[in-house]
Structure 1
Amino acid sequence: MKLPQAPTEESFPSPLHHPRVATVLGRWLAVAITICFLTGLFSHFQQATPGWLVIPSRPASLYRVTQGLHVLSGLVSVPLLLAKLWTVYPKLFAKLPWPPSRQALTTILERASILVLVSALALELFIGFLNTLQWYPWPFPFKETHYALAWIIIGALLVHLAVKLPLITAHWRRTPADRTPVPPPADSLPPAITGLTRRGLFRTVAGASALVGITSIGQSVPALGPVAVLAPRKPNVGPQGLPVNRTARDAGVVAVGDDWRLTVSGPVQLSYSLDELRALPQSRSQLPIACVEGWSQGAHWEGIRVRDLLRLCGAPEGSRLRVVSMEKGGFYATSELPPQYAEDPLTLLALRLNGTTLDLDHGYPTRLIAPNRPGVLQTKWVHRLEVLT
């Protein structure tokens, strides 16, 4: 009995497995990855700001835009990656040159970079998507792993581009040969059966990516909320018309008694009951809650300006502030407020949301709200402010 022969690169004669097709899809994927990487870097630095970096508090909705783009570009990358892999997978069956030569080493390096790139990118997109669902079925920390994988992807991508640069350059622009239909081999199926032309493939991939985007971006663009069937959060759905990620029960804040007080620890020690806070001059801010999972929603807030509290406690100009929650444990039971945020007139210790007293799930009796900040740093259930100078 004759055994079937192993497939070779020539076993896949479709004109869609062509360097020009791979180059076009690669350009689209590279744009999506670049946007995803840069916006993700911004989000990471928001949560772990290095000493040399000062992140401004304005534009007030900047983080809402960047994180919406981060999640959107990540989701759009999924159909682009699948299409790109389908286009080039016959290369996996190409024979290595023998005996070993410089060309063989280049081919091995290329395949190794592709293995690292595809593996890291697939894992990055997978855990990123599960993060939007707030589901973490793994033992490793998400934020640190997601950040490390991003740099691995960029490194592997640069190696891959360096190796394939001559081929990419040769097929970067459409040539007259690309405009001429390529006749299929005599033993292949006719186009009516095989399906797509190159143009049809591009339209299909672009349409699939656009569909993924439209059905997910509604979690940060309220106008598209009704069609956001892939979005884990819906605009205006939640207590007081605002979604909630971490409820009071999840945070271990079951109830707030009448003995609650806000302590301001600075040059002058201050302590306020809730009624005393309400008696202080109140300000209003219209700011979004923008979460790392990609959803965001604008809201109207009322409360005391943080900079006014700093003045009352005698804090020197340019002071940093630690905001302490009643939350029991968790990674974000405290947050630090850099001077540019503490001095911004939009930054409030909020007591009211959308015209009514804060719901317990939104941080009652008081919470932080500041411009251009991730939702995880908008600390809820605040009971202490510490001036760090």
Structure 2
Amino acid sequence: MGIPQLRPRFRGRLHDPRTATVIGRLLGLAILICFVTGVISHYLQEPPSWLSAHLPTRPSWGYRFSQGLHVISGIAAVPLLLAKLWTVYPRLFVWPPLTSPAHAAERLSIAALVSATLLELFMGLLNTVQWYVWPFSFRQVHWALAWVIVGSLFVHLAVKAPLIAEHWRRPAVDPVPLGADASPAVSDALAEDLDRRSLLRGVTMAVGAVTLFTAGQSVTPLADVDLLAPRDPEIGPQGLPVNRTARAAGVTADLVDGWQLHVDGPQAYSLTLDELKAMPQHRVELPIACVEGWSKSAHWEGVRIKDLLARAGLPDGARLRVVSLQRRGGYGVTVMDLPYTRDDLTLLALRLNDEVLAPDHGYPARIIAPNRPGALQTKWVTKLEVLA
């Protein structure tokens, strides 16, 4: 006599394909938005050679919008993913676990999809608070996982397409005439539909709550209810948050003392801070938009990069390597492509919100450019090197 299989029994009515399909299409939309905006962020930070000369600088707030949407959709995906997993987790206990090579491939793709998505969202959430508990590069792994998720998702959708199509629309339930008793089957269908609606309302409220209480770090009208976001864009020196302080970057008073700006080019030159202030000053309003999702517009004053390059004999701009005084942390050296260097809005900023730059904001000079990730708005600039 065989040994009986002791497996859990699931009596809930909502571990069904219809509920999984409804939640799954919402989750799929959130993942799609997150993926597309993530691709935009990646290529703005590390453009391939074929794209670098064509990076858009307009709209000037473009990165603020796309990266804010990236973080918002990623946070919204968390309750959706948990609800989706709740609807389908009884499938983990199906016996036998594998029935054919095709079934094994299907389950393998689902395992890759679920594990990669959980890890991606977990890492993304920790990135919003700048807490890196892993020894590897966040950006590289985050980028690779995104493609694993998309590939696994397409495989999953292809395998499940017939089931998804069958349950895409709400099933019809025969109405019960007034005063008539419903059959048990109709009663069960009505009860199941009501339960599903209640579940979906709860999931919608959870998604709405996490969105409403975190989106204010990038969506200004929601700033007053920014209760759960890791950053308040109103808090920081000169009314602007700081990701890396001068102390954290190793920028000391000794390094700044006697500061000069060195500009490479056909007619290389150096300027003291007073000489830089004597050049024509320009004022722009541009946002700082960081990969962690927060953003804030501010008023900046300084010298246009195109004017500095023209003085070096490059009137049409040039591709630049921007070198910072910082001694610790990433992005001490960044590359600025031609679309930015010849844009009238790109400044070597000396003032922020009508005040001299605070040390934590890059005193004595920093980069500010339109539609550019905050990590590349280099602070404590000391050298502009022309690249071929």
State TM-score, norm by structure 2: 0.92
Within 5 Å, give how 1:159-174 maps onto structure 2.
159-174=155-170
Counterpart position of 1:307: 306
1:89 maps to amino acid: Y
- The alignment status of 1:141 with 2:140, answered yes or no, reads no
Counterpart position of 2:6: 6
Counterpart position of 1:106: 102
1:246-274 deviation digits (Å, cap 9, x = unpaired):
00000000215441111111111111111
Shift of the 77–119 alpha-carbon distance from structure 1 to 2, 3 Å rule, reads: same
Shift of the 26–182 alpha-carbon distance from structure 1 to 2, 3 Å rule, reads: farther
Separation (CA, whole Å) in 2 of partners of 1:178 and 1:317: 72
2:81 maps to amino acid: L
Counterpart position of 2:270: 271
Counterpart position of 2:234: 236
Shift of the 236–179 alpha-carbon distance from structure 1 to 2, 3 Å rule, reads: farther
Q: Per the alignment, in what secondary structure is the counterpart of residue 363 of structure 2?
A: coil
Shift of the 175–379 alpha-carbon distance from structure 1 to 2, 3 Å rule, reads: same
Shift of the 351–95 alpha-carbon distance from structure 1 to 2, 3 Å rule, reads: same
**Match for residue 126 of structure 1 among 109, 118, 122:** 122
1:125 maps to amino acid: L
1:7 maps to amino acid: R
* Cα shift at 1:15: 2.1
1:304 maps to amino acid: V
Within 5 Å, give how 1:35-74 maps onto structure 2.
35-53=33-51, 54-74=54-74
1:280 maps to amino acid: M
Shift of the 105–178 alpha-carbon distance from structure 1 to 2, 3 Å rule, reads: farther
* Cα shift at 1:77: 0.5
Higher mean alpha-carbon deviation, 329-338 vs 263-272, is at 329-338
Shift of the 97–302 alpha-carbon distance from structure 1 to 2, 3 Å rule, reads: closer
* Cα shift at 1:105: 2.6
CA contact (8 A) 1:15 1:182 kept: no
Within 5 Å, give how 1:1-389 maps onto structure 2.
6-7=6-7, 11-53=9-51, 54-96=54-96, 104-177=100-173, 197-255=195-253, 256-315=255-314, 317-389=316-388
Shift of the 19–353 alpha-carbon distance from structure 1 to 2, 3 Å rule, reads: same
Structure 1, unmatched stretches of 5+, are none
Q: Per the alignment, in what secondary structure is the counterpart of residue 371 of structure 1?
A: coil
Separation (CA, whole Å) in 1 of partners of 2:368 and 2:174: 55
Separation (CA, whole Å) in 2 of partners of 1:197 and 1:135: 39
Separation (CA, whole Å) in 2 of partners of 1:154 and 1:305: 41
Shift of the 283–7 alpha-carbon distance from structure 1 to 2, 3 Å rule, reads: same
Separation (CA, whole Å) in 1 of partners of 2:354 and 2:174: 61
1:262-299 deviation digits (Å, cap 9, x = unpaired):
11111111111111111100001100000000000000
Structure 1 vs Structure 2: percent identity of aligned residues? 57
Aligned length: 376
Q: Per the alignment, in what secondary structure is the counterpart of residue 197 of structure 1?
A: helix
Higher mean alpha-carbon deviation, 296-305 vs 84-93, is at 84-93
Shift of the 381–259 alpha-carbon distance from structure 1 to 2, 3 Å rule, reads: same
Separation (CA, whole Å) in 2 of partners of 1:40 and 1:16: 33
Separation (CA, whole Å) in 2 of partners of 1:131 and 1:94: 36
Separation (CA, whole Å) in 1 of partners of 2:184 and 2:340: 63
1:150 maps to amino acid: A
1:38-70 deviation digits (Å, cap 9, x = unpaired):
111111111111112232111100000000011
1:134 maps to amino acid: Q
Separation (CA, whole Å) in 2 of partners of 1:353 and 1:183: 71
Shift of the 182–367 alpha-carbon distance from structure 1 to 2, 3 Å rule, reads: farther
Q: Per the alignment, in what secondary structure is the counterpart of residue 176 of structure 1?
A: coil
Shift of the 47–182 alpha-carbon distance from structure 1 to 2, 3 Å rule, reads: farther
CA contact (8 A) 2:306 2:315 kept: no
1:143-189 deviation digits (Å, cap 9, x = unpaired):
100000101111111111111111001111122149999969x9x9x
Runs of 4+ residues deviating >3 angstroms? 177-184
Shift of the 203–266 alpha-carbon distance from structure 1 to 2, 3 Å rule, reads: same
Shift of the 372–365 alpha-carbon distance from structure 1 to 2, 3 Å rule, reads: same
Shift of the 21–316 alpha-carbon distance from structure 1 to 2, 3 Å rule, reads: same
CA contact (8 A) 1:301 1:353 kept: yes
CA contact (8 A) 1:347 1:371 kept: yes
Higher mean alpha-carbon deviation, 232-241 vs 104-113, is at 104-113
Q: Per the alignment, in what secondary structure is the counterpart of residue 267 of structure 1?
A: coil
Separation (CA, whole Å) in 2 of partners of 1:117 and 1:182: 41
Shift of the 183–57 alpha-carbon distance from structure 1 to 2, 3 Å rule, reads: farther
State TM-score, norm by structure 1: 0.91
1:72-119 deviation digits (Å, cap 9, x = unpaired):
111111000000010111122222388x5xxx3332222111111110
Higher mean alpha-carbon deviation, 309-318 vs 153-162, is at 309-318
1:229 maps to amino acid: L
Separation (CA, whole Å) in 2 of partners of 1:350 and 1:29: 42
Separation (CA, whole Å) in 2 of partners of 1:182 and 1:124: 47
Separation (CA, whole Å) in 2 of partners of 1:144 and 1:331: 14
* Cα shift at 1:322: 1.2
